[in-house]
Structures are given as structure tokens and as C-alpha cells.
Amino acid sequence: MTPTTETTVGIGGAAESTDMVLNIGPQHPSTHGVLRLRLVLDGERIVRAEPVIGYMHRGAEKLFEARDYRQIIVLANRHDWLSAFSNELGVVLAVERMLGMEVPERAVWTRTLLAELNRVLNHLMFLGSYPLELGGITPVFYAFREREVLQNVMEEVSGGRMHYMFNRVGGLKEDLPAGWTARAREAVAAVRSRMDVFDDLVLGNEIFRGRTRGVGALAPEAVHAYGVSGPIARASGVDFDLRRDEPYLAYGDLQDVLRVVTRTEGDCLARFEVLLGQTHNALDLADACLDRLAQLPPGPINQRLPKVLKAPEGHTYAWTENPLGINGYYLVSKGEKTPYRLKLRSASYNNIQALTELLPGTLVADMVAILGSMFFVVGDIDK
């Protein structure tokens, strides 16, 4: 019998697992902008994840203190550049609450209509860009086609394509153009008629479902712990929507149309499904607002304000159900024409913190799928 010989080729560091630190960003195609992720890897698996923020910080909250109540609107509408109208809305609601001001009914319904159109515009961007991040290029072209239809009516009414500056303390900048409601109704109908593209082309795609089902599941406990809100929270079974649970604007009169979309899986696929369901419902809400506006008699769209607007001394908190989640505005006044303090609680800031919980234990290959499903805007994180 021939004796066997065993030879040890090598031993040392290679025989042990070695963690590797990987920086994703701050300039990286998968991070939606200047977000940086510091990942600790064990092979292909993520062990720890730390979102590093602040690269876009422009000090908006401090700038609020040096601007009067009309000027702060232009600062507030820019942090989430996909939800500019909704951002303006939270500020003016807080100031109006401090003033004890009643807004004309036409302004209330028009604000609700424009907020829902803005919600559709926001969601369409993610409905198109998320499949793109997973390798599907076609949906983004459809998404931008529908966005253009709605942006045309938003631009006609406000003059702006992204930063509308249409809200004012006491109402809106001006009344709707003649015939605008009919054109808005046509735009809503056109977009609704083509929304099945996302139902069939994206959700019906087996590769998309394979990349997202069961990936990046967020537990309801983590949602509460990190203050996650909006579509991401509802995809994890947290059934909370300010439009239903603490109605503002005209949402109290829209409860028969408003549908809060939820899922229980909490994974990437569930988050996309919630976003798509919310888009369908926002179009229904827009139609309901248009119906109501057609019934209202002619009337004012805003309140007359003094040349110098001063809020009384005190503080208040207003919050809104923005497209990406809950936005909160804590306003403190010393009776001057500028806020003493205006603290902004943005949805993306809280939502992105959950990545420290979501990413550990997953593969690097699934990192982009999870990150894209968080539906955040970096300016909304950094403010």
C-alpha cells in the first residue's frame, strides 16, 4: 500500500474571517445623492451599517430665524424637492394655527387637491426609479411620461415645475386659472388610465419579485423604535395615516374616498406595493376634490394680511402626512415678524435610520434593493 502524504499549503490570516469596511458614497449611483453608508462586511454579508449624513446640510432651520413668515416658505419647500407643495403646507398650517386664522373653504379644498397631485408626482418618481436600480430601465420612461402630464397642470396653476411657492399664510397665492379644473381632471384621468403599466410591467415581473420578496423585512417594533412613518411604516403593518387619524385640510370630509394601504410583510416588495396603492388612491382623492370645487360658489382663495405679519408669542406643533411620511413643524414665536425657532421633523431623516436595523445580516447584493425601497430624498435627511 502506497503511503499518503498530507501537505499544508498555507495558514495564517487567510484561515480566519476578516471584517472589511466598505464605504458606499457619498457620491454613488445607488444612494439617491450624497448619502454615505459605512458597511462592515464579513465576506459578502453585511455585519454592521451606519448611515453617515450631513453632506447636503444647508442650515435651513437656522435660516428660518432670519426670514419673516412669508419668506420661510421658499426655504421650507426645498428639503424634499419631490414634495415641495406639501412642504410649504406644513409651514403655513403652523403659522395659521398660531394666528388662530380661518382659511377660506375654496383654499382648503384647493390645497387638498394640489397636495394629492404632489403626492402622485412624488410616488411616480420612485415607482420608476426603483425598478431602474434593480436593472429594469423601461418603467422610468413611463413614470416620467405620467409626471409630465401632472407637472403641466401644476406649472399652469403655480408657475413652478418643482418649487411651486403657491401656498401663502391665509390661503393660496391666487385663484385657479379659467378652465384649469377641467384640464386637471383630464390629466388625472389620463394618468389613471395608464397606471396598469406599473401593476403589470413591474409587479408582474418575476425578476423584480425575486429581488424584492422577503428582502429587507422591517419589523413593526423597529418602525416604532426609529419613528419610521409613511409608506415604509404601513408596509410593515403599522396602520397610521394622519389624513385619517388626525384629519387636516379637507381630509375629514374625504374619509369615504381615502384608503390607507397597508401590508404586513414589511419587505421591499411590500413597500413598493404600498407606494403603488397610495398612488391609485391619491388620484381618487384628487377627483373627489375636483368634484367638491365644482360645487363651491365663487369666493376668496386667501385672507388679506397686514403688511408686516407677526405671530403672537407662544408655540405650536403642526404635522402633515407628506408623501414620504410624517413631517412635523414646531414653531416658537416671541411676537416678532420672524420665528424665534422653527424645528423641522422630516420623514426621510427618521426613515433612513432604520438602515442600521435592516442591512445587518443581508448580502451586499441586496443592499441596493433595500436602500432603494426606503424611498428617501437626501435633502429631506440633511435639511
Q: Which helix (H) or strand (E) holds 118?
A: helix 105-133
Q: From residue 317, how far is each of 68, 93, 132, 211, 303 by CA, in Å? A: 18, 9, 38, 40, 22
The model's pLDDT over 9-56, given as tens digits with 9 standing for 90+, comes to 444 444 445 678 888 877 655 556 688 889 999 888 999 999 998 888
The whole-model pTM stands at 0.91
> pLDDT tens across 157-187, in order?
999 888 999 999 999 999 999 999 999 999 9
Measured distance between the N- and C-terminal CA atoms of the chain, rounded to whole angstroms = 77
Q: Which residues fall within 8 angstroms of residue 164, CB to CB, at 6 or more apart?
A: 77, 84, 85, 88, 114, 154, 158
> With contact defined as beta carbons under 8 Å apart, do 191 and 225 qualify?
no
pLDDT at 12: 45
Categorize the per-residue pLDDT at 96 as very low, low, confident or very high, splitting at 50, 70 and 90: very high
Measured in whole angstroms, the distance separating CA 302 from the mean position of its chain's CA atoms is: 27
Higher per-residue confidence, 2 vs 260: 260
